[in-house]
Structure 1
Amino acid sequence: MSANQWDAEWDVTESLARRLIDSQFPDLSGEPIEAIGYGWDNIVFRIGSDTVFRFPRRKAAINLLEREWRILPQLAAHVSIPFSRPMYRGEASVDFPVSFLGYNYLHGRYPIGLNDEQRILSTTALAVFLRQLHAFPLGTALECGAPLDHRNLLDLESRRRRMLELLPSLAGHMGEEAYCALRQYLLAGGVNQAADKRVFLHGDLHFKNMLVDEDGLVSGIMDWGDMNVGHPACDLNVAYSYLPSKARQRFFDEYGVVDEETKELARLIAAYIPMLIMLQAADKKDARITAAAIETIQRALSD
């Protein structure tokens, strides 16, 4: 049994990925391969200069990739920020028990180490992107298998309670000031239950699923497996997790009308997601991602 929720159930090595890709996609045979990242659900390999493959690390990822295969091809005409589109579908075999996907490679880097002015550059782009995404037809999304609020985000009280349960695990990785600020924020409470609102969502919008160009402008959105129909605050968390406080009003002006309850939920999610990222990063002794997660929480709580 896995010790942590993010532990891999399948170990996909570079040699295994090479063998699987070569056997099913001869046109990619011989292209150089490099492991470039991993998350809770998938490990990612770059093939040549134009393609990436994502292999599930856990059973939970199987349906997420299937969802991407069905929905993402229909999304291209609706949004303005580039995203990875599935182009190859690898089937289960004796070497690997589940399917896997290949996508176009997005150039860029994680938005880590950006200053406030660089982050502000993406204010309008992010607001317009989310306005477009949240207008995607719900009927189409549901027909393609997008679930309804699968994370139960409307229950803010339970979310705060869960975050308080996680806090002691983070104590050794956060400075005292950052830790106390997060604890005080959670203990202060607020709205306990948000009103139900439904839009089509990316569902997991955070710094490890975003790319920026050399100027720091957002250039790509990745990992769409958590797409669902739910509360817009789930994605609007970027107003707090990504943008400095002085850019938020312009973001909301560009996006459209957002009530205070939605903003409160968005801020809570902006603090919650990096807590989860930090737990995995600390376990893997990834100091860079751990530091970025802490910085994200501090930015989310700033006014």
Structure 2
Amino acid sequence: MPPLASSYYLERIRNAFPDLMWANYRRVQTIADPDHVMILLDNGIAFRFENDEETNLTRERTVLDALRSNLKAIPIPDYAFVPKASDFAGYHTIPGTRLSPWRFWRLSKENRSEAAQRLGVFISELHSYPVAKARSLGVEEGDASVRRRRMWKELFAERADELQREVRNVFEAWIERSESINHSYKPVLAHNDIWYKHIYHDPSIGRLTGIIDWGDVEITDPAKDFYGFWIYGESFLDEVLSHYDFGDANLKELNRLRIKGDFR
């Protein structure tokens, strides 16, 4: 649904936490209809508000609390500001800024290698969490990309005659490619959205400072937690995988093929 005015969210924060003091704020919203709205206060606290039925901050907080002792390589958010209402919560912001591609390439070779090592260890720690425990925390199991592929195939079957030949050829080629790919996997607890906007680092020292936005956590294909590293270059992905405990010789190629078979 369309989010509300910032004054609404600020008033809810004031009512829930009357002792919190701040002078200014910044609203973080990159699309018109987001799954959550974030309010960053100038006192270093970030509040996230649910904005659709699929977003579940209570589950996210529960999962993060359960994972905290397992994840040693890179910090994760700690929701210290939890009101009686369950649709929003706040945490002390992760220091630093997003590791965008241009910032990545400004890192020293040593810092890039350290980042790859820590990411590989971090994902190993995450994927080692028992799936049965994740289920007991309410984490959903499945593969959104499989559901998306099924939706596109059904839509294409219904509307193929209405499409221009060039568009129809693209769809047919994608369907053929997707069906030729091995989509089987051993499910793990995955962040499911690790990419540069959710990887934070401190530019002054060139080190990673946190992995944020756990709203898409899911029991799913382990390859999904490596998709976002291609933007930093294939050699960086290789280095991350070299520090991943559960990979094999086929993981990189499966990662590449599944991206191609996942119509985005």
The amino acid across from 1:198 in the alignment is: P
Retained in 2: the 8 A contact 1:156–1:193?
Answer: no
After TM superposition, list the pairs within 5 Å mapping 1:1-303 onto structure 2.
9-30=1-22, 32-38=24-30, 40-61=34-55, 63=56, 65-79=57-71, 80-92=73-85, 99-112=87-100, 113-116=102-105, 118=107, 119-153=112-146, 189=177, 191-214=180-203, 215-241=205-231, 243-259=232-248, 262-267=251-256
The amino acid across from 1:105 in the alignment is: T
Matches of 2:200 and 2:78, distance apart in 1: 15
**Bigger Rg, which one:** 2
Retained in 1: the 8 A contact 2:194–2:228?
Answer: yes
Retained in 1: the 8 A contact 2:22–2:41?
Answer: no
Retained in 1: the 8 A contact 2:143–2:221?
Answer: no
Change (3 A) 1:23 1:115: closer
Count of residue correspondences: 240
Change (3 A) 1:22 1:28: same
Can you give the 5+ residue segments of structure 1 that lack an aligned partner in the other structure? 1-8, 93-97, 165-181, 277-303
The amino acid across from 2:43 in the alignment is: S
Matches of 1:201 and 1:186, distance apart in 2: 26
Per the TM alignment, residue 264 of structure 1 is displaced from its structure 2 partner at its CA by: 3.6
Matches of 1:100 and 1:221, distance apart in 2: 19
TM normalised by structure 2 equals: 0.76
Q: Give the RMSD, CA atoms, in angstroms.
A: 3.4
The amino acid across from 1:51 in the alignment is: I
The amino acid across from 1:42 in the alignment is: H
State the Cα deviation string for residues 103-155 of structure 1 (Å, max 9, x = none).
121111112223546355411111010011111122221111011124154x8
Can you give the 5+ residue segments of structure 2 that lack an aligned partner in the other structure? 157-169
Secondary structure class of the residue paired with 1:90 = coil
Retained in 1: the 8 A contact 2:185–2:221?
Answer: yes
Per the TM alignment, residue 260 of structure 1 is displaced from its structure 2 partner at its CA by: 5.4
Secondary structure class of the residue paired with 2:129 = coil
Change (3 A) 1:157 1:56: closer
The amino acid across from 1:24 in the alignment is: A
Change (3 A) 1:28 1:160: same
Change (3 A) 1:43 1:231: same
State the Cα deviation string for residues 236-273 of structure 1 (Å, max 9, x = none).
223424x3222333322211352455434433566799
Matches of 2:251 and 2:207, distance apart in 1: 26
Identity of aligned pairs, percent? 23
Structure with larger RCO (C-alpha < 8 A, sep 6+): 2
Retained in 2: the 8 A contact 1:45–1:53?
Answer: yes
Per the TM alignment, residue 68 of structure 1 is displaced from its structure 2 partner at its CA by: 0.9
Change (3 A) 1:192 1:246: closer
State the Cα deviation string for residues 172-205 of structure 1 (Å, max 9, x = none).
xxxxxxxxxx99x968937423223111111111
Change (3 A) 1:256 1:30: closer
Retained in 1: the 8 A contact 2:74–2:122?
Answer: yes
Per the TM alignment, residue 86 of structure 1 is displaced from its structure 2 partner at its CA by: 1.4
Retained in 2: the 8 A contact 1:160–1:186?
Answer: no
State the Cα deviation string for residues 28-70 of structure 1 (Å, max 9, x = none).
1445322134463111111233310011222222x2x121121
